[in-house]
Amino acid sequence: MMLKPNMRSQVLPMPVVLISTVSKDGVRNAAPWGCIMPILRPLDEILIASWLKRDTLDNIRDTSEFVVNIPSVDMVEVVEICAKSFPPEADEFEEADLLPRPSVKVKPPGIDGCIAWMECKLVEEILREKYSLIVGKVVHLEGNDSFFDERGGMDFESAKPMSMILGPDGVCYTHPAYPGSGREGR
């Protein structure tokens, strides 16, 4: 069947992350993000797309720093709370009952309990008429010891990183599925 071009988000699943930032006045913010991708393996830059009316975008512009937190599907409620439109002066760590985790190379804290934390610095903003593209450099990447082995391999089965599909009925959250036996041989 024919699909409208803007239905592309239904056939291209996107990751779900929580971006944490702080405002220039020190207010903590956290927001879910789907439009995020690494820019060419094995480089260390990422790209995020943002509508212009986002506290996250304002904070990145003001401080040049952000943390990409990778939540598990078990954190779906937190994701939904952070998706609400809070005023810029609201501390979203408090609103969503998030435990801050000190970052190593940037000011914004990470979110405790996530699968991994990507500390980023702004490299470039590409401003379009209705949205903005942010290029960030990953300056520190850390995985939660509970989900990674000594080689840095993630146990996807227990970590359950979230992704999303946007269909006519809204967001559907998904997580990795496994082919079962025979996986080891690949």
Ligand X SMILES: Cc1cc2nc3c(=O)[nH]c(=O)nc-3n(C[C@H](O)[C@H](O)[C@H](O)COP(=O)(O)O)c2cc1C
Pick 16 or 115: Cβ nearer ligand X? 16
Phi, psi dihedrals of residue 106, rounded to the nearest 5°:
-135, 165
Is 165 a binding residue for ligand X by CB under 6 A? The answer is: no
Minimal distance, residue 75 CB to ligand X, in Å: 11
- Determine the Cα–Cα distance for residues 172 and 159; give it in Å rounded to an integer: 18
Of residues 20, 28, 55, 110, which one binds ligand X by CB under 6 A?
55
SS percent in the chain: helix, strand, coil, step 5: 20, 40, 40
Contact between 123 and ligand X (CB under 6 A)? Answer: no
Stretch that binds ligand X, among 70-78, 82-90, 112-120, 121-129 (CB under 6 A): 82-90
Rounded Cα–Cα distance for residues 106 and 70 (Å): 17
In the bound state with ligand X, the residue whose beta carbon lies nearer, of 49 and 138, is: 49
Site for ligand X contains 49 (CB under 6 A): yes
Residue 120 token pair: 């980023």
* Total chain residues near ligand X (CB under 6 A): 18
Among 10, 13, 35, 133, binds ligand X (CB under 6 A): 35
- Write out the two tokens for 81: 């709370």
What's the min distance (Å) between Cβ of 4 and ligand X?
A: 19
83 interacts with ligand X by CB under 6 A: yes
Only one residue has tokens 């720093």, namely 65
Non-local (6+) Cβ contacts of 13 within 8 A are 163, 164, 165, 174
Q: Residue 40 contacts by C-beta under 8 Å, 6 or more apart in sequence?
A: none
Least CB distance to ligand X at residue 84 (A):
6
> Which residues bind to ligand X, rule: CB under 6 A?
16, 29, 31-35, 49-51, 54-56, 83-85, 164, 171
